[in-house]
Structure 1
Amino acid sequence: MGAIWHALVQSYAFIATVPVIPFLLVYFVGARGGDRKAAVRLAMDVTTIFLIGFVAGALNTRLHSNFSLYFILLVMLVGGGLIGNAQNRLRGKVDAGKLFRAVWRLSFFCLVPVYLLLMLLEIVFPAKSA
């Protein structure tokens, strides 16, 4: 069981380091059906999982803390609260599915530049390990 878990962790770590791989893979498999918009959305949704993992790990390494994942989740929850409040004011009710999709996709758009910045920093100024 330990070997399987280790292999899964190593696979996730590799894919999270280069999240363009799952994005392109999901996009090209999804675009075969003909709906490119849906393929892009699905690729964004899948890639967000890997972006969260990489950004949290890279920030933890850079800042010498273990709080980055919780900070990302906190920002996502605050964003969800703001979007939910806006939905409630405009429509009088909150659509949880649309709210979750909006927060998830906004997270993708916010994490991509952070990923690029952290990757550039790692290439130019490698972090010292503890």
Structure 2
Amino acid sequence: MDAIVQWFSQIYSFMAVIPFIVFIILWGILYGITKDKKRATRTSMDVTAVLLIGSVSMMIKQIFGTSFGFWFLLLFFLVCAGLLGNLQNRTKGAVDLAKIAKVLLRLGFMLLSVCYILLLVIGVGKYVYIS
């Protein structure tokens, strides 16, 4: 069992290093199977958002020397989930967790993509000018 967990951890680590390449490859595979651009894009965004969480939190750890990045992202997603749940409860009278998860993953993809690019530029600049 430990070997399986370690294998999945290594696969996740490899894919999290290059999340946008994974996005493009996954989009191509899904579009080839479904022939639906919208569905391929949405599913690729959802998977890449999960990869970006790990990437951005590790970049924060490397650049700023703190391990608070993951916990900050988790807190951000939990607060957003609470706000979306409150909004759904007020407007529709019920909370749809699947819809909240979809919105969070797609919002997370957009925000974490910007954070990824920004942290990548900062990290490269720090490496070039400090080394």
Does TM-score exceed 0.5, indicating one fold?
Answer: yes
Aligned position for 2:29: 29
Partner of 1:99: 100
Query: For the residues of structure 1 that align with 2:9 and 2:95, how far apart are their CA atoms?
Result: 36
Shift in Å, 1:8: 5.0
* Residue pairs, 1:12-51, within 5 angstroms: 12-32=12-32, 33-51=34-52
The corresponding residue for 1:82 is 83
**Residue number in structure 1 paired with 2:124:** 123
TM-score (norm 1): 0.87
**1:11 Cα deviation from its structure 2 partner:** 4.1
Letter paired with 2:56: V
Letter of the structure 1 residue corresponding to residue 93 of structure 2: G
**Offset, 1:124:** 1.7
Contact 2:50/2:105 (CA < 8 Å) preserved in 1? no
Output one character per residue of 1:95-124: Cα deviation in whole Å (capped at 9) or x when no partner: 111011111111111100000001111122
AA aligned opposite 1:107 = G
CA separation of 1:91 and 1:8: change in aligned 2, threshold 3 A: closer
Identity %: 34
User: How many residues matched?
Assistant: 127
TM-score in terms of structure 2 length: 0.86
Secondary structure of 1:126's partner? helix
Superposition CA RMSD, Å: 2.2
Q: Which has the higher helix share?
A: 2
5+ residue gaps, structure 2, are none
Deviations 1:65-88 (A, max 9, x none): 212111101100000011111111
AA aligned to 1:20 is: F
Matched, 1:58 2:78: no
Compute the displacement of 1:21 (Å).
1.3
Structure 2 CA distance for aligned equivalents of residues 105 and 90 of structure 1: 21
Shift of 1:17: 2.0
Equivalent position amino acid for 1:22 in 2? V
